[in-house]
Amino acid sequence: MLKKRGAGVLMHVSTIPSDYGIGVFDSNCIHFIDKLHDMQFGYWQVLPFNPVDASNSPYCSSSALAGNILFIDPKGLMKMGLCTEDEVRENIYTGSPYTADYEFAKEKRMKLLKSAFSRIDAETAQSVREFENSNPWVVDFSLYMALKEANNGAPWWKWADEYAHYDIFMNKHRYDFEERSAFWRFTQYIFFTQWQTIKDYANQKGIAVIGDMPIYVAMDSVDVWANLENFLIDEKTLKPQKVAGVPPDYFSEDGQLWGNPLYNWERMEKKGFKWWLSRLKNALTTYDVVRIDHFRAFASYWEVSADSETAKNGEWADGPKMKFFNKVFEEFPDAPIIAEDLGTFGEDVVQLLEDTAFPGMKVVQFGFDPDGDSSHLPHNAVQNSVNYVGTHDNNTILGWLWEATERERRFALDYVGFTKDNWGDGGYYSESCRKVIESVWKSSSNTAIIAFQDMCGFGSDARMNIPGVPEKNWRFRTTAETIDCLDADYFKKINSLYRRTYPVFDK
Positions annotated as catalytic residues are: 293, 340, 393
Taking CA atoms, 409 is separated from 201, 250, 361, in Å, by 41, 17, 22
Amino acid at 56: N
Spatial contact of 450 and 11, defined as CB atoms under 8 Å apart = no
Nearest alpha carbon to residue 45 among 462, 448, 458, 440: 448
SS3 track for 176-245 = HHHHHHHHHHHHHHHHHHHHHHHHHHHHHCCCEEEEEECCCCCCCCHHHHCCHHHECECCCCCCECEEEE
Q: What is the Cα 123 distance to its own chain's centre?
A: 33
Reduced to 3 states (helix: H, G, I; strand: E, B; else coil), residue 388 is strand
Instruction: Work out the angle between the directed axes of helices 27-38 and 178-204 (0-180°, nearest 10).
Output: 30
Cβ neighbours of 89 (radius 10 Å): 10
Cβ neighbours of 135 (radius 10 Å): 18
Output DSSP code: residue 289: E
DSSP H helices, 382-451, are: 397-403, 406-416, 431-442
Instruction: Work out the angle between the directed axes of helices 488-497 and 27-38 (0-180°, nearest 10).
Output: 50
Nearest alpha carbon to residue 10 among 389, 284, 381: 389
Nearest alpha carbon to residue 291 among 326, 336, 246: 336
DSSP E strand stretches across 67-107? none
The dihedral region occupied by 466, where left means phi > 0, alpha psi between -120 and 50, and beta the remainder, is beta
d(CA 447, CA 115): 44
Spatial contact of 2 and 446, defined as CB atoms under 8 Å apart = yes
CA atoms in the 13 A half-sphere facing the CB of 380: 15
Report the largest interatomic distance among the alpha carbons of the chain, rounded to a whole angstrom: 73
d(CA 42, CA 3): 13
